[in-house]
Amino acid sequence: MSRVKEEDKFLLTYKFRAYPTALQEYKLENWLFALCWLYNHALEERKRVWKEEQRTVRYSEQQNNLPKLKKKEPILKLVHSQVLQDTLRRVDKAFQKFFQDLKRKKKGEKVKVGYPKKKPTAKYKSLTFPQVWMKQKGEIVPIIKLEKKNNRFANLHLPKIGKLKIRLHREIDWTKAKTVTIKREPSGNWYVCVSVEVDLDQILKEAEERVREREKAIGIDLGVKHLAVTSEKEFIEHPKFLQKLEKRLKREQKKLSRKEKGSSNFEKQKKRVAKAIKIPC
């Protein structure tokens, strides 16, 4: 079996709709709150240490201090340790980008330099399990398991969260899964993003299959008067989603403008606006 070169490997991310139970959603909301607090705490710590001691706090230092911080802030104990570590990596990446942009600006490049800012709880919308597999007693064992229920749905077994139901709209090779990110959209819907390592040969093979499928398909020309015209001179009329949704969208936006910004009613109405924008498929 030939070894694949490192440069021939790529990470592809697949997004799946998730359906958490009421208890799981409550847990995920608590996790996001705790992670947002940790992000802002780590950011402020770096800022304070630089101001007082003129030194840079590294990721390793903040990671090593996590056990002490957990004792002071019990809410952090609810969150999986690797997810906490990933939040500290996000802070580290934000500062790395800041310093890189600063160097580029000093060299005369036109680049916008922004110092990392604290995040409001409402805008902290995702959490990441940075590891799907781990080595234990010489064997590779899964931290997160994927259990297929049928052709449409599967259960994702997440530490401290439990079985999370997802819509598995396409097959993936779980043995190549690298990270799992859970994200809450403005509409209130939850999604799971799985990054999978694939080889260049596999990508080229899939591309060739898509080309062959296109060769068998009829030609379609998109237009203004009609949505599409096929090569067989068949016309497909516009469903006019936007016109149909326009009245509802205006009504929901007007309601949003009357709510107090930052209030719970404001956040609820924001979700209604997001749902009104979404075009049905």
* pLDDT recorded at residue 281: 40
Percent of the chain with pLDDT over 70: 81
Q: Answer yes or no: is pLDDT of 144 > 50.
A: yes
* pLDDT recorded at residue 214: 64
SS3 21: coil
* pLDDT recorded at residue 258: 87
Percent of the chain with pLDDT over 90: 56
- More confident call, 242 vs 97: 97
Question: Across the chain, what does the average pLDDT equal?
Answer: 85
Q: Answer yes or no: is pLDDT of 4 > 80.
A: no
SS3 156: strand
* pLDDT recorded at residue 270: 82
pLDDT in tens, 218-257: 555 555 555 555 555 565 555 555 566 777 778 888 888 8
Give alpha helix (H) positions in the chain.
22-53, 59-64, 66-72, 81-106, 200-216, 241-257, 264-277
* pLDDT recorded at residue 236: 55
Average of per-residue pLDDT across 40-62: 95
Average of per-residue pLDDT across 24-32: 96
Question: Which contacts qualify for 92-97: CB closer than 8 Å, 24 or more apart?
Answer: 92/58, 92/59, 92/62, 94/43, 95/46, 95/56
Assessment of whether the complete model's pTM goes beyond 0.85: no
Average of per-residue pLDDT across 195-219: 72
C-alpha torsion sign, points 65, 62, 160, 172: negative
Q: Which amino acid is at 56?
A: T
